[in-house]
Amino acid sequence: MELRSAPALHVACLCAAWCRLCDAYASVLKSVTGVLVLEGLPLRVHWIDIEDDADLVGDLDVETFPTIVIAAGPQVLFAGAVTPQPETLRRLLKTKLSALQEGAPHPIASSEALAFAARLAELPGSDGLGG
């Protein structure tokens, strides 16, 4: 099965302006998602500052920066920290797209994460190529 027929995934990187690790991760996120979008994968990428966008984040508890949330509509497929290696993010995104397409069960998410995913689904997001 091809991943291209999967519904769009929203990929949110939750960060803070003061976080230097987040600054470094921005280029990883942009390069990995940009390549995957060029390969035809349906991604919508969001860089979200938890302080500037507190209303969007809501009550979602972010303990580690950067935190990645992957959602398909209101369904949370992943929410947590990832190591900063590009291959880790690439594998994670491809795995979640494949599982979504195959109809695999979704992990159990907190009500806060589900509410965040619902708000995220309403944002247009970038296609991973832009700034």
pTM over 0.95: no
Average pLDDT, the chain: 88
Q: Is the pLDDT of residue 114 over 60?
A: yes
- Is residue 130 domain-resident? no
Indicate which CATH number applies to the domain containing 63.
3.40.30.10
**Containing domain of residue 12, as a range?**
3-120
Please report which confidence band the pLDDT of residue 93 belongs to, taking 50, 70 and 90 as the band edges: very high
Please report which confidence band the pLDDT of residue 60 belongs to, taking 50, 70 and 90 as the band edges: very high
Look at residue 130 in the predicted model and tell me its pLDDT.
47
Region 53-63: mean pLDDT is 93
Please count the structural domains in the chain: 1
Query: What is the spatial distance between Cα 4 and Cα 22, in angstroms, rounded to a whole number?
Result: 29
Quick one: 76 exposed, middle or buried, by C-beta within 10 A (0-12, 13-18, 19+)?
Answer: buried
Query: What is the DSSP-derived secondary structure letter of residue 3?
Result: G
